[in-house]
Amino acid sequence: MNQDYIKASPWSIIEEGFDRERVKSSESIFSLGNGAMGQRANFEEVYSGKTFQGSYIAGVYYPDKTRVGWWKNGYPEYFAKVLNAPNWIGINVWVNGEVLDLNTCKEVSGYRRELNMKEGWYKRSFSALLPNDAHIEVGVLRFLSLDMDELGAIRYEIKALDADLDIGFQPYLDSGVTNEDSNWDDKFWNTTEVVSTERQGFIQAHTMKTHFKTCTFMQSQLFLNGNLVDVFPEVEKKEQWVGHRYAHKLAKGEILALHKFGGYTVDRNHHGDELVQAAKTTLKKALELGFDTLLERQRSAWAEIWKMSDIAIEGDVKAQQGIRFNIFQLNQTYLGRDSRLNIGPKGFTGEKYGGSTYWDTEAYCLPFYMATKNQKVARNLLKYRYNHLEKAIENAQKLGFSNGAALYPMVTMNGEECHNEWEITFEEIHRNGAIAFAIYNYCRFTGDYSYIPEMGLEVLIGIARFWRQRANFSQLKNKYVILGVTGPNEYENNVNNNWYTNYLAKWCIDYTIAQLRKVKEGFPDDYRRVVGKTKLGDNEVSQWKKVADNMYFPYEEERGLFLQQDGFLDKELLTVAELPSSQRPINQKWSWDRILRSPYIKQADVLQGFYFFGDHFSEEELERHFDFYEPFTVHESSLSPCVHSILAAKLGRTEQAYTFYLRTSRLDLDDYNKEVEEGLHITSMAGTWLSIVEGFGGMGVLDDTLSFSPRIPEQWKSYSFNVNFRNSIIKVCVQKEVTEFEITGEEIVPILVNKKGLELVPGKKVEVRVS
């Protein structure tokens, strides 16, 4: 925990004071991204203290050869590593010939970082007394342009404080970078060309094995007291490095500023031979516009994003800061412009977890993007999986499945499995269900059914086939069972009949059969195409149905309880409250076997099912299961508190929901798990949004109608958010006594509030009393 280190502020993340031990964690928290690239908040100038260097390009990865202690048949050959990309932000700074390095300065004062979320920039300022007694004031402002997403800009200002000074700036590019995470210390980048023109620098490099081609580029300008100093830099070139050196005298009180423009052009967007040309075009435009105009455009672009996605909370600055930080980071990570990209668990803020796509995308992130962007963005997320269907079928084949059964990978970059723990890779198969659920959720929310006949049906068929083959008939139970799985609660491995998995499996089959019928009737051409392509026979579908109709669910009569898995009640059922705090977190204190045989739940499992399928269960059932499972839940996954928050809100336990909300929304800002230096928990940030909108706001779709059941935590005066429901923007403002609804757009939209129908008419604000 790191509580109160980050200053509370509604729109900014602020750090005050220079603390060497916080550098790595702040590098994570102050990260920047624009959906196409991102970077940790590393210093531009030399820093000899502890740092974790990270600059990332969306979709650029390296297949690092798998390293395991004991190989198991079926393990993937490689793990896709998020790749530290060539450095374009670097600026060496000399003051009177001495290198500026905050780690060696005699004194650093007034140190302050601000991440301005409203406008999308990051600023660092401080005064430094160098070992040679030179005294300077520094202000550095940096942003990654939303407008031109291959471009970033830095304004590095130095003011001479006590005396005249000689200042040297050397902006540089460096492709000699390494990953912190590497299995075999492979070389990840191959630099093919280092070029410098009079004012511009370019490094062409491609990743080894995957051969993603990139051009890292830069051009800088020097300003004295705001006036351009038109000099040519002194060029220095090395094998994987190019620097442009500028030097200038600075009188006491004067300010020297370097504007550095840089970034990456990549062959995802350009022909591989034209990356330098593309970089030149970008630089030309950047120079024409200039730093200030680019910054102005950055403000506008973020204003546009916030207009739709902001959640305003009155009366609770920390909660406000938390949710905005979450929304800001989600938007920095993924903007939905490119269906080849996805949302990595650490976004552009660290290397951990590799890969880019987990079931987090479908289970947690999709609703956020559906409601705060247009439906094309959400559709791109679905399309990503459609594009990976062939690979998912191959993946299932490797594990012994046949006939087009598809198993989506646990972790992936390009559709191939990257993970290699057998209990997860092979057994955490519920992920397949989340992908089908996302299709359902998308159609339900957007009303866009066309995705199913066009693409979704094929995905559903692959998934239904998988479940049919993965279940087996138990003579003893006279039911179909699913043996040897790991559910969402990864503190149980290789269990039989995980209720959540079995429930999803049955639902997937039922849903697929229903869609087959619907597509057959409504889209006969698509139906013929899909049935032909998948060679689906009627007999096969009736086999699916047999499995779904006869699925076994572990259940205990006496308490009327769905059991997380077979045998759950044989455990020693001590609650988390009975566990000494010295024993927590159990994943750090206990050996794995002890965790496994304990009743402790890492993240919502049965309750995840109650969240997905809220309308399948009565409130009494929800309450019974919540009261049984919550006391055993240790929430040692970032994806857990949000689900519990939503369900607690649904049960009217607003105070408890609020506690879970705070935990999820400030997880990284307050560094709950003492690991923020590894990067941020991006995907769980979507869960925070869900906690407010689906939890407190009680938003859902009932009978094809948008529905709300607003509640408000005692600590808040009001909260408001927008939802794009089928291209109408609905603004919801929940206050202590009333909830206000407003709609923009052309259409009248019927909604349900506390299950009562009303109509939202453009231009007319509606107030409903909070029940």
Decide whether 247 or 399 has the Cβ nearer to a copy of itself: 399
Q: Please select the residue that binds a copy of itself; options are 496, 534, 550, 673, rule is CB under 8 A.
A: 496
The tokens describing 216, both together, are: 């890292």
Own/partner contacts of 749-758, CB < 8 Å, gap of 24 or more, are 749/706, 749/725, 750/705, 751/705, 751/706, 751/707, 751/708, 752/702, 752/705, 752/706, 752/707, 752/708, 753/707, 753/708, 753/709, 753/710, 754/708, 754/709, 754/710, 755/702, 755/707, 755/709, 757/705
In the complex, the smallest distance separating the C-beta of residue 423 from a copy of itself, rounded to whole angstroms, is: 8
Residue of 153, 37, 48 lying closest to 92 (CA atoms): 48
**What contacts 436, CB < 8 A, 6 or more positions away?**
459, 460, 463, 504, 507, 508, 511, 512
Choose the stretch contacting a copy of itself; rule: CB under 8 A; options: 133-141, 272-280, 416-424, 613-621: 416-424
Decide whether 569 or 766 has the Cβ nearer to a copy of itself: 569
- d(CA 660, CA 644) in angstroms, rounded, equals 7
In the complex, the smallest distance separating the C-beta of residue 420 from a copy of itself, rounded to whole angstroms, is: 5
Q: Please select the residue that binds a copy of itself; options are 10, 272, 315, 484, rule is CB under 8 A.
A: 484
In the complex, the smallest distance separating the C-beta of residue 483 from a copy of itself, rounded to whole angstroms, is: 4
Please give the single-letter amino acid code of residue 189.
W
Q: Please select the residue that binds a copy of itself; options are 18, 172, 426, 696, rule is CB under 8 A.
A: 426
> Rule CB under 8 A: is residue 62 a binding residue for a copy of itself?
no
320 carries a ligand binding annotation: no
- Dihedral sign for Cα atoms in the order 289, 291, 293, 294: positive
Decide whether 540 or 566 has the Cβ nearer to a copy of itself: 566
Cα-trace Rg, the chain: 27
Decide whether 140 or 411 has the Cβ nearer to a copy of itself: 411
> Rule CB under 8 A: is residue 65 a binding residue for a copy of itself?
no
In the complex, the smallest distance separating the C-beta of residue 592 from a copy of itself, rounded to whole angstroms, is: 4
Q: How far is CA 368 from CA 312, 361, 374, 669, in A?
A: 16, 10, 11, 20
Residue of 8, 660, 28 lying closest to 320 (CA atoms): 8
> Rule CB under 8 A: is residue 538 a binding residue for a copy of itself?
no
> Rule CB under 8 A: is residue 369 a binding residue for a copy of itself?
no
- d(CA 127, CA 660) in angstroms, rounded, equals 40
Decide whether 494 or 534 has the Cβ nearer to a copy of itself: 494
Q: Please select the residue that binds a copy of itself; options are 364, 422, 467, 628, rule is CB under 8 A.
A: 422
Pair 440, 498: CB distance under 8 Å: no
> Rule CB under 8 A: is residue 475 a binding residue for a copy of itself?
yes
- Dihedral sign for Cα atoms in the order 20, 24, 28, 31: positive
736 carries a ligand binding annotation: no
> Rule CB under 8 A: is residue 78 a binding residue for a copy of itself?
no
The tokens describing 530, both together, are: 């899909």
In this structure, what DSSP letter does residue 87 have?
Answer: B
> Rule CB under 8 A: is residue 95 a binding residue for a copy of itself?
no
714 in catalytic set: no
Residues near a copy of itself (CB under 8 A), total = 48
Burial classification of residue 713, based on how many CB atoms lie within 10 Å of its CB (0-12 exposed, 13-18 middle, 19 or more buried): buried
50 carries a ligand binding annotation: no
> Rule CB under 8 A: is residue 613 a binding residue for a copy of itself?
no
Decide whether 443 or 504 has the Cβ nearer to a copy of itself: 504
- Dihedral sign for Cα atoms in the order 612, 466, 443, 545: negative
- d(CA 11, CA 322) in angstroms, rounded, equals 10
**What contacts 542, CB < 8 A, 6 or more positions away?**
none
Choose the stretch contacting a copy of itself; rule: CB under 8 A; options: 15-23, 218-226, 480-488, 539-547: 480-488
Bond before 585 cis per omega within 30 degrees? yes
- Which of the residues 587 through 606 are near a copy of itself (CB under 8 A)? 587-597
Catalytic residue among 44, 157, 458, 490: 490
Decide whether 182 or 494 has the Cβ nearer to a copy of itself: 494
181 carries a ligand binding annotation: no
In the complex, the smallest distance separating the C-beta of residue 426 from a copy of itself, rounded to whole angstroms, is: 4
The tokens describing 188, both together, are: 């990840």
> Rule CB under 8 A: is residue 301 a binding residue for a copy of itself?
no
Decide whether 483 or 513 has the Cβ nearer to a copy of itself: 483
> Rule CB under 8 A: is residue 757 a binding residue for a copy of itself?
no
Residue position matching structure tokens 């079928």:
393
What are the residues binding a copy of itself (CB under 8 A)?
A: 66-70, 72-74, 398-400, 420-423, 426-427, 472-477, 481, 483-484, 493-496, 566-567, 569-573, 587-597
Pick out the residues of the known binding site: 359-360, 602-603
Annotated catalytic sites, by residue?
A: 490
